[in-house]
Amino acid sequence: MSAIKSLEAVARDRVGKGAARAVRRQGQIPAVVYGAGQPPVSIAIDLIRARTLIYAGGFKTTVFEIAVGGRKLRAIPRDFQLDPVTGVPLHVDFLRVVSGQTVTVAVPVHFINEDEAPGIKQGGGTLNITSHTLELDVAPDRIPEAIEVDLTGRQIGDVIHVSDVKIPAGTYTGEPTDPVANIVPPTVLGAEVEAEEAAIAEAQSAEAAEEKAEAEAAAEEENKGEDEKSED
């Protein structure tokens, strides 16, 4: 299960775009903690700490104990905003968690024992992943770090459904028949790659022909202009 992480924060007494910009100039980012029927709490957290946590992975499946104003709040990230150009965090929304409640989180799927799958090891097949995460309804203190899918014995043509996967904790929010992955023959993805490469080559050829035609037309126009000057 994911360990609870500590996070230092300071309370914000002002909100709005101007206040948010002022917070960011101080090397922090604005955030808010809401939920559990309690008033929202506006906070600011260290930019470097926030960036490290976000890009380390598993941010939205981690419960944080946020120390702010002499008290501690337990919350889980619900959403965050990044600058579309620089990727720098701009804002984080935290959902307050209390005893007895569950939260809905997208838990990453990890595939293990690929070398023990005859369809891949001997048959040369390819693992085609359709779901990189599974959404679970789970108690905050039981959120798994990942869901492992064992590929031992899997053959070409096998389809792995959610019903074939052991969910460590919580309840899957979708249907048991939802596919997680399948093992495809080596020619399937190969044909797709070849078709894509052929399409790219055709587009490049057409573009080159168009550029050549434009250059020839420009040269012809230039020669025509020189001929007219000579006649003058």
- pLDDT (tens digit per residue) in 127-160: 999 999 999 999 988 899 899 999 999 999 999 9
Do domains 5-96 and 103-184 share one topology? The answer is: no
Query: 103-184 in CATH: which number?
Result: 2.170.120.20
Q: By the 8 A CB rule, do 97 and 81 touch?
A: no
- pLDDT (tens digit per residue) in 29-82: 999 999 888 899 999 999 999 999 999 988 999 999 999 988 999 999 999 999
Supply 106's token pair. Answer: 């997208």
Domain ranges of the chain: 5-96, 103-184
Q: pTM of this prediction?
A: 0.69
Q: Does domain 5-96 have CATH number 2.40.240.10?
A: yes
Supply 181's token pair. Answer: 């992955």
